[in-house]
Chains A and B, each alone.
Chain A
Amino acid sequence: MCGIIGVIDRTMSRMDGSSIKEALSLMDERGSGEGAGYVAYGIYPDYADCYAIHVFFDNLLEPKTKVDAILEQWGRIVHQEEIPTYEQPRLKKEHISWRYFFKPYADQTVGTTNPDDDNVKHLVMDINANVEGALIFSSGKNLGVFKASGWPEDVANYFRIEDYKGYIWLAHNRYPTNTAGWWGGAHPFNLLDWSVVHNGEITSYGTNRRYVEGHGYECTMLTDTEVVAYLFDLLGREHGLPPEVVVKALAPPFWDEIDEMPEKDEEFMRTLRLTYGPALMNGPFAIVVATKDGIVAFTDRIKLRPLIVGENGPRLYISSEEAAIRTMDPDVEKIYMPRAGEPVIGRVIE
């Protein structure tokens, strides 16, 4: 069990983090106090063209010296600082949270359509796998993940998320079941522009992990959700599939449903399932993924985890519980439960 809630304002009007804190805290029972976190898009307008790299350091000596060196080798650190935090009685500070605003050198990589993203992906993988005492947990532009081991309200207060304003927010309350709770294992999981919150478990993790590791990703967070962020980066960014198609690759219809589709759809789905067989995710899950352009939510095909959607004008809410949506927006107009495996998409209107 875990609790998730997300919101997008499709007109990109920004909301501070106070109401999502209230909503996530309403679902405290869905967690165990061992992990909670938030991600917001649009929070760093002053550094909008820099990659905002959030790092957990065990100390600011060796690990940070090594990270500084790697970043300076691959690009320019425009600004860096400790992320402001505020002591909470129930939250044990286990890492120092640091942020860099970083611009990679564009001329260092060839053979790619997006050298900046590929550079940053590479150095995130390198640092997380090889620099002991440093973990990059957020690496997108104009967005930031804030997470720790603790209860939703304590983690929110620790980072004072009400001080940040974003047009997309995702939040997660963790109840770790298969691996121990730790700061890096709290959700959201992020790589570049992709952030993921997840309730459930990916029982196909081994297959999915081998698949993404064959494409240059390294799983270092000791929990299954990480692989979802990498699958979205691989299929959505590197292969350029639209979000609806990524969801259909990860949670495809059953074969008997595909058999009954019109011929063209049937052929498309067969091809997709065969091409992305190792990306198919099994097990119980409800997932929300965000990028700067919008959010997409979906559940496993037999709906073993809850997901409810609310709409109010430009705002689209997705949560494990209706009450959490109503906490964020008492005037929410439309509430409905999407079908299993069907993507719910909220896109920004520019």
Chain B
Amino acid sequence: MAEPLVIDVKGMHYSPLNKMIRKAVATGVKEIVLNNVLGQRFIGNGVRGDAKIIVNGVPGGDLGMFMSGPECEVFGNAEHAPGNTMDQGSLIIHGSAGDAVAHSMRGGKVFVEGNIGYRGGIHMKEYEGKRPILVVGGTSHAFLGEYMAGGLILVLGIGNEPAVQDRGIGSGIHGGEIIIRGDVDDKLLGVGAKKVEFTDDDLIRLTPVIEDFCGRFDIDPKPFLDTNYSRIIPASARPFAGKYTWE
């Protein structure tokens, strides 16, 4: 296998950095290692292909925005909106992340080992074969899955009982599903969200996702395959049909 491209990005602005990444991927480089990352925004922005990007440090906001295909693995925390409108590929974050994680995501997967901030999975969407997945190992702050239109959010809540304690879960949800380990207090549900029974079929569906996540972070998946979850979905097919117009 070819040598990875290693870039020391200390003090570098994201524009030349992203140009270097795009050029490398276009010329067939399969692995790019970024060292001393600190606050550079938009890393991997719009990159297409099957490269692997390793980020050592704390990248700036909108990591992997519009990215379509690559796998980006971060050894550090991420700031706001990693996976913003991401199309395909994966973000693996060995740390926590800020607000609006997986903002408007349309495909691929975002795995966060630690916690996420407010509005995780805001307006995630799905279309035909494209179904984005956001998995959070720790907990989430309020308005998880706000205005969610499709896809899957899974919160394992490792080290948190209950897994999520913040309000407004699925506020404005009209598609997709939010799965949270353990019980979720009804008062935490947002407008338009309802809690339904988590079935054996749901667990079968989720098993590969749980195993994939646990595998990436070296976590034993067994406790998460033998526990209860809460499943939160839109209250009806069109929960906000009469909100702005009359039919």
A residues touching B (Cβ–Cβ < 8 Å)?
26-27, 29, 256, 302-303, 306, 308, 321-324, 326-327, 335, 337, 339-340
Contacts of A256 in B (CB 8 A): 187
Additional pairs, 17, CB under 8 Å, beyond known A302-B118, A321-B39, A339-B166: A27-B39, A29-B60, A256-B187, A303-B119, A303-B141, A303-B142, A321-B60, A322-B77, A322-B79, A323-B38, A323-B58, A326-B39, A327-B39, A337-B96, A339-B141, A340-B118, A340-B142
Cβ contact within 8 Å between B38 and A306: no
Closest to B98 in A: A306
* Min distance, Cβ A340 to any Cβ of chain B, angstroms: 7
B residues touching A (Cβ–Cβ < 8 Å)?
38-39, 41, 58, 60-61, 77, 79-80, 96, 98-99, 115, 117-119, 141-143, 166, 168, 187
* Min distance, Cβ B79 to any Cβ of chain A, angstroms: 6
Q: Given A308-B98, A322-B58, A322-B77, A327 and B38 touching (CB < 8 A)?
A: yes
Please tell me which one of the listed residues B38, B98, B142 contacts residue A26 in the complex, with CB atoms under 8 A apart.
B38
* Min distance, Cβ B130 to any Cβ of chain A, angstroms: 29
Contacts of A308 in B (CB 8 A): 98
Contacts of A26 in B (CB 8 A): 38-39
Contacts of B187 in A (CB 8 A): 256
CA distance A214 to B96 in the complex (A): 45
Contacts of A303 in B (CB 8 A): 99, 117-119, 141-143
* Min distance, Cβ B188 to any Cβ of chain A, angstroms: 11
* Min distance, Cβ A170 to any Cβ of chain B, angstroms: 19
CA distance A290 to B60 in the complex (A): 27
Please tell me which one of the listed residues B41, B77, B117 contacts residue A335 in the complex, with CB atoms under 8 A apart.
B77
* Min distance, Cβ A296 to any Cβ of chain B, angstroms: 20
Contacts of A321 in B (CB 8 A): 39, 60-61, 79
Closest to A323 in B: B39
* Min distance, Cβ A4 to any Cβ of chain B, angstroms: 14
